[in-house]
Structure 1
């Protein structure tokens, strides 16, 4: 399996081999953000890359947005683009080493970028980082894609098996408003963490 280290991702940014980068906020996430009323939500975007989602949220008055990325490069890019964004909310760290509690974790091309054997660990880490009744919201690829390098694909059945023991599946449906060549390849998810008994 390919080594998806900090150096791997930093080299991708430095060589501008960022085919996953839409260059704008994804339509499904914009639609979701536009109906959020509580601007005090503590929101985390892991593996955020250039994070047009965080930029949009910040511009809409959400000031409690945190970005984490294993590579420093996209965080530098983001800070140059969104100069008023609080520096302490730009976190250069591996998601799996992160601590804290969040109301909302946004999934946008992070899950598909980690080695598939780490997906169960991703679920547990996401649970740890979410407050009770916190939500994981975003997009997952619903396509085969690659087996030896990211993006790694998947399907609804495998995702249900992974998430259902720990989350109430509020939504896991085909996206109707995906951008460009992602049409027909994405699931929109809204998963609520089960309360601990």
Structure 2
């Protein structure tokens, strides 16, 4: 799988890359007050979210990607970004815990058969009071290749057993080409008994 994504970056086949932080995530980040929180951006690609966070004083930001090229791109844009926080790793092999995980086009890049495992891994990676915040396509996207779409009803089958759902609704502030096609979510792990 890493070769597939590496080739996409090498050949500039990155149609999902909007070249900046998405407006819903920017709005969410802008209301965060504690800049010491430990944040993960998995399957981050060029990680404009990490760049925005870092430039706004959040220094405990970790970027994970299975492809090396996007991590190198981040380092070129942000030479002061700590090397140890750029993780060239398969998301499912991560063994850390975070206060906040930001989802931006990672879920939709995974084959649909990985969705349950994604939800389970997210729950494990979050601290007790942690949050999974991000965007999911509310569109079936029936093209046979990533991005893979879906619906709110489907997504909730993965998340409701593991998370308290604080927000899961159509994003009001999506970029124009994704208007009315994205769900914004704020999820918190259920307390394990």
Structure 2 unmatched ranges of 5 or more: none
Residue 34 of structure 1 corresponds to 30
> Which residues of 2 match residues 33-182 of structure 1 at below 5 A?
33-146=29-142, 148-182=144-178
User: What TM-score, normalized by structure 1, do the two folds share?
Assistant: 0.96
Q: Which residue of 2 aligns with 1:191?
A: 187
- Quote the Cα distance in structure 2 between the aligned partners of 1:191 and 1:41: 16
1:99-137 Cα offsets, whole Å, 9 max, x none, are: 100011100000000000110000111111111121100
The 3-state SS of whatever aligns with 2:149 is strand
Distance 2:156 2:180 in 1: 19
Q: Does the 8 A contact of 1:143 with 1:185 survive in 2? A: yes
**Gaps (5+ residues) in structure 1?**
none
The answer for the alignment partner of 1:16 in structure 2 is 12
Aligned CA-pair RMSD: 0.7
Q: Calculate the TM-score normalised by the size of structure 2.
A: 0.98
Q: What stretches of structure 1 move > 4 A for 4+ residues in a row?
A: none
Q: Figure out how many residues of one structure are paired with residues of the other and give that number.
A: 193
For 1:59-101, what per-residue CA distance to the aligned partner results, in whole angstroms no more than 9, with x for missing partners?
A: 1100000000000000001100011100000000000011100
